[in-house]
Amino acid sequence: MLQEPKFLSADQFLLTTLVVKLAAMAALATMLTRYRRFRHILIFEQRNWPDRLVFALGLAIPITAGVAARVLLNYDAADLTLEGALLAGLIAGPYTGAIVGLSLSMPAFAAGEYGAPFFAVGCGFAGGGIREACPKEDIWSFSPFMIFSLPRHVWRMVRDMEVNWQVMLLLAALGLEFIRQLVGREYPLRLFHLSSPDRWLTLMVYIATVLIVSTPIKIWNNARIEHRLQEQEKLLLAAKVEALKSQINPHFLFNTLTSVSSLIRSQPETARAVIQKLSGLLRTLLQSQQQFVTLRDELAAIDEYLDIEVIRFGSRLRVRKSIAPETLDIIVPSLLLQPLVENCIKHGFARKVGPGTITIRSRRERDLAIIEIEDDGLGISDERVPHALSTGIGLSNVSERLRVLYGASGRFVLVGSPGKGSVARVELPFTHPIDDRITA
């Protein structure tokens, strides 16, 4: 049995229209924050005219299309004239607000609503005037939840006898809606407005205006806060990486100078050669400010370091390399391998009788680059590995840098056997995984 179609009553239609208007403005604000240029405009308060023009177009084009839909299709929920013009003024200043307001009013003006341009431009100037008068952070603090804390704000304003800009912003939105209602009722064909004979529904119209203005401000302020947190994370991460990197140079320098002091009396020429090599290596380290280098460059720095150690140990120290050609151009943190090689020499060969060999290998395994530093020195037991990783400056530095830079994608493993040597294994993503926030 067919049922007759059910239609919304006038009051239900009005409430639905208000909800759709709020949803439309929230959706528009969210979409605009996805554009890098628009986010940049939100973040920086000092905006030049190109920035203001981009902001004006971002708001004016979709909202003007909405006003046109209201004029042509009688779709009242698409008209956000008051809210769009007021927002533009609050965020970008009076002239931007006026330009946006004028643009929004053109479809209505073409339809014979001759009061629309004056009202919309006035809303833009009103928002811009408030922006010029109040602290900018007070605008960004304007939230839809302000309605629930209104008594507290009013009490604070009365108690302190000073302007509370949250209340002023609320009154501005309510005041402009009151003007629209007043003029619209007097001249219904000259200015569009939503109204109802029911007082409670009229109150809902006023509340909806406040929510439609404050909701995008809340969304955009969240985007600003998120950007600031990202910037703080970037600075903190860069500082932490630099601090970890700076631990290596004094550690290496101290060990080398200790070796030089022991050679000065017994082998002065060898000591002089070590000092010359050391000065060249330190000059290279001081001139390089890069956080990341290719594996090719990192191996070149290792060669300079090993030149010093070969002078110290002579024929006792042998170095072998097995480097896969496809790994030479991968990006690795600078000074990552030097403390591993130094650890092999200091703990593997310093007390060993006879020659020793250091083997440096690299290869690709699926999406990982594997770099291994192996020695045949005294080795290390499995029980001592956690202690070495937690207390040794060089090893703990490498492990911490990998954790900071790569998270779960990077790994450092140390394995060994007493009397047979040890292997330090570094696993990195083969492709360049570092976010621009680290390298910037």
Q: Compare 122 and 407 and report the one with higher pLDDT.
A: 122
Same domain? For 218 and 260 the reply is no
Assess whether pLDDT exceeds 80 at residue 166: yes
Same domain? For 168 and 293 the reply is no
Separation of CA 436 from chain center: 10
pLDDT band at 311 (very low <50, low <70, confident <90, very high): confident
Beta strands in 277-410 (DSSP E): 292-294, 317-323, 331-333, 356-365, 368-375
Same domain? For 284 and 394 the reply is yes
Q: What is the pLDDT of residue 333?
A: 85
Instruction: Give the position of tokens 């101290």.
Output: 254
Assess whether pLDDT exceeds 80 at residue 293: yes
Q: Phi-psi region for residue 6, left (φ > 0), alpha (ψ -120 to 50) or beta?
A: beta
**Nearest-CA neighbor of 56 among 110, 19, 97?**
97
CA distances from 13 to 80, 108, 299, 430 (A): 17, 22, 73, 59
Beta strands in 127-169 (DSSP E): none
Q: What is the pLDDT of residue 433?
A: 41
Residue 241 lies in a domain: no
The Cα 133–Cα 330 span in angstroms is 55
Q: Which residues have CB under 8 Å from 348's CB, separation 6+?
A: 356, 375, 376, 377, 378, 379, 421, 422
Q: pLDDT of 336-384, one tens digit each?
A: 888 888 888 877 776 666 788 899 999 999 888 999 999 888 888 777 7
Q: What is the pLDDT of residue 183?
A: 94
Same domain? For 170 and 269 the reply is no
Mean pLDDT of the chain: 84
Which residues share a beta bridge with 421? 417
Assess whether pLDDT exceeds 70 at residue 406: yes
Q: What is the pLDDT of residue 235?
A: 57
Same domain? For 207 and 352 the reply is no
Q: pLDDT of 136-158, one tens digit each?
A: 888 998 988 888 888 888 888 88
Domain count, the chain: 2
Assess whether pLDDT exceeds 70 at residue 6: no
Domain termination site, one of 236, 262, 297: 236
Q: pLDDT of 67-89, one tens digit each?
A: 999 999 989 999 999 999 999 99
Helix 116-133, helix 94-110: angle, nearest 10: 170
Instruction: Give the tokens for residue 155.
Output: 């009490």
Domain termination site, one of 214, 236, 258: 236
Query: CATH no. for residue 349?
Result: 3.30.565.10
Domain of residue 323 covers: 247-439
Domain termination site, one of 215, 236, 257: 236
Assess whether pLDDT exceeds 90 at residue 268: no
Q: Compare 418 and 184 and report the one with higher pLDDT.
A: 184
Averaged pLDDT, 308-315: 75
The Cα 33–Cα 216 span in angstroms is 10
The Cα 23–Cα 21 span in angstroms is 5
Q: pLDDT of 180-239, one tens digit each?
A: 999 999 998 899 999 888 999 999 999 999 999 999 999 999 988 887 777 766 655 665
pLDDT band at 436 (very low <50, low <70, confident <90, very high): very low
Q: pLDDT of 250-265, one tens digit each?
A: 766 777 788 788 788 8
Assess whether pLDDT exceeds 50 at residue 435: no
Q: Compare 276 and 130 and report the one with higher pLDDT.
A: 130
Same domain? For 264 and 404 the reply is yes
Residue 5 lies in a domain: no
